[in-house]
Structure 1
Amino acid sequence: MSHYELRAASLPRPGQRLALGLLQLFGWRVRYKPLPGPHGVAIVYPHTSNWDFVIGLLGKWALGLPFRWLGKESLFAGPWAGIMRAWGGVAVERSAATGATQRLAEKMHASDWFWLALAPEGTRSYKPHWRSGFYHLALAARVPVVLVYFDYGRKELGVVDVVRLTGDQQADMASIAAAYQGRTGFHPELACPVTLATPRADSPEQQR
């Protein structure tokens, strides 16, 4: 199925139409293709600005899809904990890294619908590579990877391209890099090269 541009007239709920309206007010549009199943990993790139969180959250609300995302444990211990969980937040397991990826994969499949959104750069600052947690999680759970992009040059938020990992890291990352070619972040000079770091631990914390 080809992708399409999200339009308010096609959205069933007022909250979705409001979120899309706010995006459109600032000149943004959302391109979307139905997800390839009830479970998966969505990676978000490029991530170079705090504005990405705002645009991404409005996009999630406009789509009406309960994407989840990983956050520091401290976000889920304070007064904002309830809001963070309501917005789809999942606390990173800092104290029990061993086996965390497998546990997250099992948690994903134990749910009727579980898509986890991750920023593989792990930071808004420039780094020479991506963190590899998303790759190991997708392989462990045997789920597809949706490539979400922020393109500030075109003012587009896209949830379109899908990659099914083969385990051939070089070939998989080449496919991902090709899909992200030409996408421009808020600070283009801070976008990380689309290449993986050597994994150091079996932990989704790498995707923080």
Structure 2
Amino acid sequence: MKKAIGKAFLAITGWKGEGAPPEHGRYVLIAAPHTSNWDFPFTLAFAWAYGVEMRWMGKHTLFEGPKGWFFRAVGGVPVIRHERRSMVQQMVDLFTEHDRLALVVPAEGTRSLVPHWKSGFYHIARGANVPVVLGYLDYSRKTGGFGGLLEPTGDMRADMDRVRAFYADKVGKFPEKFGPIRLKEELEADEIAAAKLAS
């Protein structure tokens, strides 16, 4: 049923899929560029069309009250921010509880323009010992799907160079809101290096 709904939505809107989800049953799926509210229904449609039971993180308050059932039905996982475990650790623990899990993470963390990506997706993948899949929506070509598979090595800059190369030609619905593809840790390292050179 979900697969039929996903395929119908994409057909009606004129979008096409590229690539295929990995056979690996557990992975973190980057969702980028993330510049519009439309990204969620399209990501969900692609997941359903490909038979991927995706999960995504949300503030635990989203799952309170009558609307909670809906968010859970479409893959939502409540994150308790005041819990002793960090968000990253909560998601790592989630991977230990499932044989199959596709955790979708919008690496930018917001639809607005930001100076760097959040590194949660990277640390979750490292902590859970699972690969990162480069998922995307390219509004310029009305295509979306699954790109390469990245096994985080711990060399963050080298790994992110591969990510940057992949997303270099991907266009969000609002391109001006798609900022630099770099992690906060990279930005901080560059600032420290620049300060040392200036001193």
* Alignment of structure 1 residues 95-106 onto 2, 5 Å: 95-106=82-93
Which 4+ stretches in 1 moved above 2 angstroms? 97-104
TM-superposition CA deviations, 1:122-143 (whole Å, max 9, x none): 1100000001111111111111
Residue 197 of structure 2: aligned partner = none
Conserved? CA contact 1:39–1:109, under 8 Å? no
**1:17 has 2:4 as partner:** yes
Displacement of 1:35 after TM fit? 1.2
What SS does the aligned partner of 1:30 have? Answer: strand
* Alignment of structure 1 residues 33-48 onto 2, 5 Å: 33-48=20-35
Identity of aligned residues (%): 40
Residue 190 of structure 2: aligned partner = none
For the pair shown, the structure with the greater C-alpha radius of gyration is 2
Conserved? CA contact 1:36–1:144, under 8 Å? no
* Alignment of structure 1 residues 127-166 onto 2, 5 Å: 127-166=114-153
RMSD: 1.6
What SS does the aligned partner of 1:37 have? Answer: coil
**Unmatched tracts of structure 2, length 5 or more:** 187-199
Q: How many residues align?
A: 186
From 88, 109, 121, the counterpart of 2:96: 109
What SS does the aligned partner of 1:198 have? Answer: helix
Q: Greater shift after overlay, 117-126 or 190-199?
A: 190-199
Tell me the TM-score normalized by structure 2. Answer: 0.88
Residue 93 of structure 1: aligned partner = 80
**Unmatched tracts of structure 1, length 5 or more:** 1-13, 200-208
**1:84 has 2:71 as partner:** yes
Alignment CA distance shift 1:196-1:97 (3 Å)? farther
Conserved? CA contact 1:121–1:130, under 8 Å? yes
* Bigger fraction of residues in helix: 2
